Amino acid sequence: MSSGIALGLHGGCGTLEHRLQSQADWSESRDHLAQALRAGWQILRSGGSALDAVQATVVVMEDSPHFNAGYGAALTARAEHELDASIMDGSNLAAGAVCMVRRVRNPVQAARALLDSGTALLLAGDAADAFAAQAGLTMVDPSYFTTQRRLDALRLLQQRAQTGAFVPATEAEKHGTVGAVARDAQGHLAAATSTGGFNNTPPGRVGDSPIIGAGTYARDGVCAVSCTGQGEIFIRRVAAYDVAARIQYAGQSLEQATRTLVFETLASHKIGAGMVALGATGNPVAPYNTLGMYRGWVTTDGQLAVATHQEIHRMGAA
């Protein structure tokens, strides 16, 4: 297997059924996945770092209304946004994360700025926003993140609760996350994850995305992982780190480790789960146990592919 540059991403598990969204929307969401991959791939191809590549990839998805991160993020029960993100450098285990931010346009950039500062690993709420502003990042009014789709989803979930109608929410209605993993020309690995939480969440709730070892993990020579699904279970299972432990200590392959987590460990909790992961060599893997998962990758030979459901759209050279 080649240990060359490679890149993978996910845009959240629990994709809607095909019929619940227009073909134009499906097509645009695939285009945005491809744009995100190309942004990261351009960095890797020019000799840039895996850390820069995952950040660039996630920024594109944070700026897209099709994913639950940044613009188009989910709303809490108070109809507010609380955004989380993290990033990790597999070469030295450095990491940065923010949670419950409301004003920084791209939370993953705040996480990266915190990593670079070395002052803390995780900042929360107003303090994280203040740090981002001081770091010179683009700040926005919280209303920037709001889309009609998220307002409609919140209203529907709250109406069900008020009427007592027991209609289980779909994974797509509840939550979503974006993430990326990369390996650069020096063999270094990195991972990043960003989320808006889930619709109608209790204010102040924090999931796995900003928790290193739960939603995000990277270690050179082992793997880089970004997770998506019900964060509470990923935290309890230390899911992202468990993939690395299975590879490093149990001798499992990347495919064995990720499939065990998704289809056995996490599935045993009756939750939708998925992840994108990359090893020290070879191509990304993106297992999921839901109807679909926004995902994509560029293989070591430079071929780009994206998918929302089972069908994979191969788009040629990146």
Catalytically active residues, by annotation: 177
Distance from CA of residue 297 to its chain's centroid?
Answer: 14
Nearest to 175 by CA among 232, 257, 226: 232
Helices (H), the chain: 23-45, 50-62, 107-117, 125-134, 148-163, 171-174, 231-236, 239-250, 254-260
Distance CA(253)–CA(261), nearest Å, equals 12
For residues 56 and 276, give the distance between their C-alpha atoms in angstroms, rounded to a whole number.
16
Q: Name the nearest CA neighbour of 41 among 284, 219, 229, 292.
A: 284
Within a 10 A sphere around the Cβ of 13, how many other Cβ atoms?
30
CB neighbours of residue 78 within 10 Å: 12
List of residues 6+ apart from 232 with CB closer than 8 A = 207, 208
Are 44 and 185 contacting, i.e. CB atoms less than 8 angstroms apart?
yes
Identity of the residue numbered 115: L
* Cβ neighbours of residue 80 closer than 8 Å, sequence gap 6 or more: 102, 142, 203
Q: Determine the Cα–Cα distance for residues 189 and 183; give it in Å rounded to an integer.
A: 5
Contacts of 162 (CB under 8 A, 6+ apart): none
CA distance 110 to 97: 8
